[in-house]
Amino acid sequence: MAGFWRLAIPEGPVRRLALGWLGLGVGALGASTVFGLWLLIARTPYLSRLLGAGGGFHTALVLHVGLSVLIWFLAFACLLWTLAQHRYPRVGWGAFGCCVGGALLMLGAPWVGGGRPVMNNYVPVLDSPLFLAGLGLFAGGVALQAAATLVGGLGRRPGQSGAALRTGLYLMAVTVLVAMVSLGASWATLPRTLPAPAYFEALFWSAGHILQFAYTLLAMVAWLWIGGAAYSGSPWARRAGVVLFVLTAVPLMAVGWIHWNYAVISPEFRTAFTRLMSYASWPAAMLLGGAVLLGALRNRGPEPRQARRGLGLAVWLFVTGLVAGALIRGDNLMVPAHYHGVIGAVTLSLMALTYRLLPELGFPGPALRVESWQLRSYGWGLLLWVVGLAWSGSQGIARKAPLGGQLPGGLEAVAMGMAALGGGVAIASGLGFLALMSASLVGGRNAILGVLPPWRRGAAAGGARVDHRLLAAVLTIGLILAGGIAVSRVSGSGPNRWPPPDPRLEPVRHAQRARETEIGQRFQQAVAMLHAKQYEHAAVALHRVLELAPALPEAHVNMGFALVGLERYGAARDFFISATELRPMQVNAYYGLAIALENLGDLLGAMGAMRTYLHLARPDDPYRRKAEAALWEWQAALDAGRPKTAANPER
Amino acid sequence: MNGFDGTEFMGQTVKPPDNPSVMGRGAPRDLRISRLQRALGALASLKLTLAILAALGGGTMVAYLSEARTTWALVLPLAAFSVNLAAAVATNPVFRRQTALLMFHLALIAIVLLIAVGRLTYLKGQLELAQGQVFDGQLTQEESGPWHPRRLDAVRFSNQGFTIGYAKGMRRAATRNQVAWTAPDGRPRQAVIGDQDPLILEGYRFYTNFNKGFAPVFVWRPRSGASPQLGAVHLPAYPLHEYRQAQEWQPPGSRSPLWIMLRFDEVILDPEKSSEFRLPTEHRLVVRAGEARRELKPGDAMHLAEGVLVYQGLRSWMGYTVFYDFTLPWLLAACILAVASLAWHFWRKFSARPWNPPVS
Amino acid sequence: MTELQALWAALVLYVLAGSLAIFGAVLRRQPERTVLILLVAGLALHTAAIVLRWERLGHGPVITMFEILSSNIWSLLLVYALAYWRIPAIRATAAVVMPILFVMMGWLLMTSPTEGHLPATYHTVWLYIHIGFGKVFLGAVLVAVGISGVVLLRGTGYGGKRFARLPDDSRLDELAYRFMALGLIFESLMLVAGAIWAQDAWGRYWAWDPLETWAFITWLTLAFALHLRFTLKIRPRTGAVMIVAVFVLAFLTFFGVPFISTAPHKGAV
């Protein structure tokens, strides 16, 4: 009975192949976690300034998604398929080779003249031949393994242990193959003239949605394996399990109908798949999750409760993701909240299943407490991340972009900070998972082979003659030398500012610069207007200049000239006077003042001003002659008692 | 003796009987060797370590209270510490097995040695550059260790001007100083340094400090026919010496000094709001030579007995602190190694045995 | 809720926790879970207060006495709460530790919560690294002081009966020693990070200014105390006295020196 919800792992080549798939999956998850850390930093307030101009954010996003959602999940699926059906080991190895090759190509593509990252949903890609070839190779390998599993499963014997699980796995294989076929159909009918983002979005739309069904099945398999005997109490429970698997897969029969009836780029096609996934992918999974959880809570079954670590959190995470999905209203952060919830639930389930599989694969698992800590921190970290994202999404913050200059305040920052905290915890936990797996696989191998690492051999030999002093001295000197060289390389490079200064703390510079720019622009505008004799416009521009720079003598002078043009001599006189008060050497102010005073009838004053102008002006000043002429005329007028306007002959 | 479980310092200075260096030699050599061993053992004494630590504490107080940074009160305990530790490494059996502990202590010795080397080769100094001026290796203030390799003459960079923001209440905010220099490959380079971003050339670290001010620039044409020279006079730091912007200066080759004062009426740094250090838009330069007194504006010339002083205009000057110590990266590496190895040692020691083992 | 309200609420919770712990020790009861819950709740509110102030001012709690006291109370209680949670055997030490925190909280309430100006030399990540290490160091020493306090109090008739439940002196001494070892590591890291910061902030990595000097003396005393343990066979009570001495030195170094000296390191440059 206990063996019903698990698959036996035979010794020999099957175990090695299974280990290979596990290694590929865990490695991809680890690499994806590292990229996830990059993304997290780029989207956290204050930390995002570390990364400068958001370099490489989108490439990191592409790799993060591809490595986790595609490679980690599908490699794990291949692992389970290998355990379910191993009639064709050579095909299995071939598929494994293809997948590893594809994964390496995808990972290497950015470093080798990377293509532009395309931010389409479901399977974002780098638009480079290397990446796309890698993707294709990986997909081919998975399809090969899925097909081999199905063909091998055709001849299965009834009553075999784990039959219901196998059913689920076969259905998953069928789902993945349907996704590939749908992808092929889309590719065949999609016009190639579309711009890259629209092209890839349409290309992967159907396959992406269908894969979600496959991942749901994967999660269900994992829950049954972990939940184990707690679930099965009776024969009808087993049948119910099979029925739930079938219920998850059956809606995919609509795929053919959708492809037949709608063009790939039509909105109906898009909506059909969205509706298919939103309504049909999860109900059976929820029923199963609930049943397994209930059984686990009631502690049925011979296994101890610790054996069901991670199960409860996984189911809750899944539910949270689904709820977030239901709350999606537009393309904001609620969308990543949704998919991180459900995908995180699947990842958590697979992590827990991995711990279960390790002993059966012949490796020592980590201590129970450590394992439980890792799973719980991952689950809670993701929950916090999802809730934080959902909260931010409800406030309409944009997605898929580094935070860069966007510095939210108040509640938004708290929401994003919460998301960052949860994300950080989840990432640390993911790295912890990787570390635990490495320790188990590497250490376990040595335990199997009977080889102790060199630093333990001495103690094992119980040496009383042990003398590490020379080693210590060599290590000390070597590390100091090497460390010093490393530090001098890093820090001796000259001026840098890290972290970059917070613009909020230095408002002076920015405000100052903005003002200066405006002053300059307006001033030029005014001068141009004056030349064009547009005195009204010039006055308006100069008003603004004077607002920003009330002590700028040139602005006062030009305002005076504008007012002279508008024949408002009294105001003009005031401006000329204030210009001279601001700068007694402001030469042109005296000229203007003279003109204004003349038109106001104050010839004596005008003469005085004009004399001052002549006294201050440069010998080659073009207006000297006019000024002298005016002065002579006024003198003559005063002598003759007649008012004259010789200074401004244009009037 | 098999009492070494590796988790406790035995604190003994007596050699265990199976020490090969004491066995199987002739009697006179035995005595000599055992006397050496005894001496080393005495030097390696842990009680001596305690005394040295206390002496080091005292030396610290002396260094703190005195003006000099390197005093005998510090050097002697550090030297004694190195000897004590070296002797312990040579004789104390615990260092044979506890590699991490040994590495920590060796790293401490390395730190002491590196600091010693650093003190022998360091340089600290001050200099001031007017805007547009090129540093030519001259420092206004300098202190250096006896073995400092003087490479300052090979360093050239120019000050291209700065901005310094001030928050309300005349609190100094960020300093941004643009500097230019020629890289070793011949290409001209520019960068913005300030506050905590030094300019690092030939291992010398140039930091902008809080001294800066105004520098009237003159052309001095001596009557003796020598070529005219362009120079800047650094007035006292502003706003530190806001009301004493005057300086006495002797033009090159002349016998009588000039007294120069800068006068302006505007408020450059307003305590009521945030502002920026800038040159005054309107200023007058008062120059007194003996009995003559003139107020100069940019472009004005003043004829003196020994030459003509032409006032070019007002610029700014920036103060720099220069620091040289090539041991810094290795010192940092040694510190990190010391901490890491100590942490490793404690980790292994504490995880081997619980602090509160269950009473059986 | 404003930051001061959150802070006030946190302080109230801390006082409740501390009082409960003291009563528990005196009356020989064990309200440990309640104390822990109160501490954690207080920490949560205190975190909110600090975050709100940080967000409003644009810089962390590093300038004024108010901010420094608040952040140190927070970090000391965080480290202590961690130890309280993970080492159930020593929970009774809360009766010794919380009164120390009460003194700091009282002091906090007497300081003014006005803002300070973030000096130009504070615009660096080394500020946070240096302070972070220092906080862990002080926290570790505080836990050790709590344990040492119990060891010393046991010497009195009154205390001997009240703290009988705890492990015996030699074990407590061992645990306190381990916390001091942890403190030594983090104080070393703090000094190194401080030197890195000082090099670029003031153009030199060490200048025997008051804060540097006293921090180094604290480090020497700590090293001396640890060395003393395995050089001479000292009794737990002597070790406890040394630990308290180190804490007093560290406290005076950190809270006394910057605010009575006028040298640049006082934190206003």
Q: Which range in A290-299, B237-246, C6-15 is most confidently predicted, on average pLDDT? A: C6-15
Tens of pLDDT along chain C (269 residues)? 688 999 999 999 999 999 999 998 888 778 889 999 999 999 999 999 999 998 888 888 988 889 999 999 999 999 999 999 999 999 999 999 999 999 999 999 998 888 888 887 887 888 889 999 999 999 999 999 999 999 999 888 777 888 888 888 889 999 999 999 999 999 999 999 999 999 988 888 998 888 899 999 999 999 999 999 888 888 899 999 999 999 999 999 988 887 776 554 444 33
| Token representation of residue C114 | 């006005």
Q: Where are the domains of chain B?
A: 27-121+327-352, 124-323
Backbone angles phi, psi at A286, to 5 degrees: -65, -40
User: On the CB side of A232, how many CA atoms lie within 13 Å of its CA?
Assistant: 23
Whole-angstrom Cα distance, residue A385 to residue A381?
6
| Token representation of residue A454 | 């060199």
Q: Please tell me what DSSP assigns to residue A443.
A: I
Our CA-based measurement puts residue C115 at a distance from the nearest CA of chain B, in whole angstroms, of: 12
**What confidence category does residue A308 fall into, taking pLDDT thresholds of 50, 70 and 90?**
low
Secondary structure class of C123 (helix, strand, coil): coil
**What confidence category does residue B341 fall into, taking pLDDT thresholds of 50, 70 and 90?**
very high
- Give the H or E element holding residue A627: helix A624-640
B121 in Cβ contact with B145 (< 8 Å) = yes
A15 in Cβ contact with A173 (< 8 Å) = no
**What does the pLDDT read at residue A458?**
42
End-to-end Cα separation, chain C, in angstroms: 33
Lowest mean pLDDT among B305-309, B336-340, C96-100: B305-309
Q: Give B165's contacts (C-beta < 8 A, 6+ positions apart).
A: A506, A508, A509, B172, B173, B174, B274, B275, B276, B277
In the predicted model, what is the mean pLDDT of residues A420-443?
Answer: 84
A368 in Cβ contact with A303 (< 8 Å) = no
**What confidence category does residue A647 fall into, taking pLDDT thresholds of 50, 70 and 90?**
low
Task: Tell me the pLDDT of chain B averaged across its residues.
Answer: 82
Say if residue A407's pLDDT is above 60.
Answer: no
Q: Do C118 and A410 touch (CB under 8 A)?
A: no
> Could you write out the DSSP letters of every residue in A39-69?
HHHHTSTTGGGGGTTTTTHHHHHHHHHIIII
Chain C nearest-CA residue for B66: C208
Lowest mean pLDDT among A273-277, A594-598, B20-24: B20-24
Instruction: Tell me which of A521 and A352 has the higher pLDDT.
Output: A352
**What does the pLDDT read at residue B19?**
38
The candidate with the shortest Cα–Cα distance to A548, out of A512, A577, A504, A583, is A512
B157 in Cβ contact with B352 (< 8 Å) = no
Q: Do A484 and B333 touch (CB under 8 A)?
A: yes
Q: Do A505 and C124 touch (CB under 8 A)?
A: no
DSSP bridge partners of B214: B316
* Chain C contact residues (CB < 8 Å to A): 51, 55, 58-59, 118, 123-125
Say if residue B354's pLDDT is above 60.
Answer: yes
Spell out which residues of chain C touch residue A505, defining contact as CB-CB under 8 Å. Answer: 58-59, 118, 123
Report the share of chain A in percent with pLDDT over 90. 22
Q: Do C124 and A502 touch (CB under 8 A)?
A: no
Q: Do B2 and A492 touch (CB under 8 A)?
A: no
Whole-angstrom Cα distance, residue A647 to residue A268?
80
Our CA-based measurement puts residue A409 at a distance from the nearest CA of chain C, in whole angstroms, of: 8
**What confidence category does residue B30 fall into, taking pLDDT thresholds of 50, 70 and 90?**
low
Say if residue B243's pLDDT is above 90.
Answer: no
Whole-angstrom Cα distance, residue B45 to residue B53?
13
- Give the H or E element holding residue C9: helix C3-27
Q: Do B346 and C188 touch (CB under 8 A)?
A: no
**What confidence category does residue B39 fall into, taking pLDDT thresholds of 50, 70 and 90?**
confident
**What does the pLDDT read at residue A233?**
55
The candidate with the shortest Cα–Cα distance to C67, out of C138, C120, C131, C142, is C131
Quickly tell me which residue has 């390395």 as its tokens: B110
Q: Do B346 and C178 touch (CB under 8 A)?
A: yes
Per-residue pLDDT reduced to its tens digit, A36-64 = 887 877 766 666 655 544 457 788 889 99
Report the neighbours of B using a cutoff of 3 or more CB pairs below 8 angstroms.
Answer: A, C
Chain C nearest-CA residue for B71: C208
**What does the pLDDT read at residue A180?**
95
* Residue of C191, C204, C213, C222 for testing the chain B interface, max B β-carbons within 10 Å: C204
Q: Which amino acid belongs to residue B204?
A: Y
Determine if the pTM surpasses 0.95. no
Whole-angstrom Cα distance, residue A431 to residue A459?
30
Say if residue B331's pLDDT is above 90.
Answer: yes
Chain C nearest-CA residue for A45: C55
Residue B8 forms contact with C (CB below 8 Å)? yes
Q: Do C125 and A499 touch (CB under 8 A)?
A: yes
Residue A479 forms contact with B (CB below 8 Å)? yes
Q: Do C171 and B172 touch (CB under 8 A)?
A: no
**What confidence category does residue A218 fall into, taking pLDDT thresholds of 50, 70 and 90?**
very high
**What does the pLDDT read at residue A304?**
58
B103, B274, B332: residue with CB nearest A507:
B274
End-to-end Cα separation, chain A, in angstroms: 112
Q: Tally C-beta pairs within 8 A across B and C.
A: 106
Our CA-based measurement puts residue A554 at a distance from the nearest CA of chain B, in whole angstroms, of: 13
Chain C nearest-CA residue for A412: C55
**What confidence category does residue A493 fall into, taking pLDDT thresholds of 50, 70 and 90?**
very low
**What does the pLDDT read at residue A636?**
85
A414, A498, A502: residue with CB nearest C58:
A502
* Residue of B4, B5, B97 for testing the chain A interface, max A β-carbons within 10 Å: B97
Task: Tell me the pLDDT of chain A averaged across its residues.
Answer: 80
Whole-angstrom Cα distance, residue A27 to residue A47?
27
- Residue A52 Rama label (left phi>0; alpha psi -120 to 50; beta): left
**What does the pLDDT read at residue B17?**
39
Say if residue A463's pLDDT is above 60.
Answer: no
Secondary structure class of B128 (helix, strand, coil): strand
In the predicted model, what is the mean pLDDT of residues B197-221?
Answer: 88
In the predicted model, what is the mean pLDDT of residues A477-488?
Answer: 87
Residue A500 forms contact with B (CB below 8 Å)? no
Whole-angstrom Cα distance, residue A319 to residue A296?
17
Q: Do B197 and A495 touch (CB under 8 A)?
A: yes
B70-94 in b/e burial notation, b at 16+ Cβ within 10 A? Answer: ebebbeebbebbbebbbbbbebbbb
ipTM of the modeled complex: 0.90
A390 in Cβ contact with A337 (< 8 Å) = yes
**What does the pLDDT read at residue A460?**
44
Whole-angstrom Cα distance, residue A420 to residue B317?
45
Say if residue A237's pLDDT is above 80.
Answer: no
Q: Do B337 and A471 touch (CB under 8 A)?
A: no
> Could you write out the DSSP letters of every residue in A199-267?
HHHHHHHHHHHHHHHHHHHHHHHHHHHHHGGGT--SHHHHHHHHHHHHHHHGGGHHHHHHHHHS-TTSH
Spell out which residues of chain C touch residue B173, defining contact as CB-CB under 8 Å. Answer: 120
**What does the pLDDT read at residue A651?**
39
Instruction: Tell me which of B228 and B178 has the higher pLDDT.
Output: B178
A471, A486, A508: residue with CB nearest B165:
A508
Residue A414 forms contact with C (CB below 8 Å)? yes
Question: Which residues of chain B from 216 to 255 reach within 8 Å of chain C, CB to CB?
Answer: none
**What does the pLDDT read at residue A161?**
59
Q: Do B53 and C220 touch (CB under 8 A)?
A: yes
Spell out which residues of chain B touch residue A494, defining contact as CB-CB under 8 Å. Answer: 191, 199-200
The secondary structure of A475-539, three-state, reads HHHHHHHHHHHHHHHHHCCCCCCCCCCCHHHCHHHHHHHHHHHHHHHHHHHHHHHHHCCCHHHHH
Whole-angstrom Cα distance, residue A435 to residue A453?
17
C51, C58, C124: residue with CB nearest A505:
C58
C234 in Cβ contact with C169 (< 8 Å) = no
Lowest mean pLDDT among A344-353, A487-496, A583-592, B146-155: A487-496
**What does the pLDDT read at residue B360?**
64
Spell out which residues of chain B touch residue C201, defining contact as CB-CB under 8 Å. Answer: 195-196
Say if residue B177's pLDDT is above 80.
Answer: yes
Whole-angstrom Cα distance, residue A395 to residue B355?
51
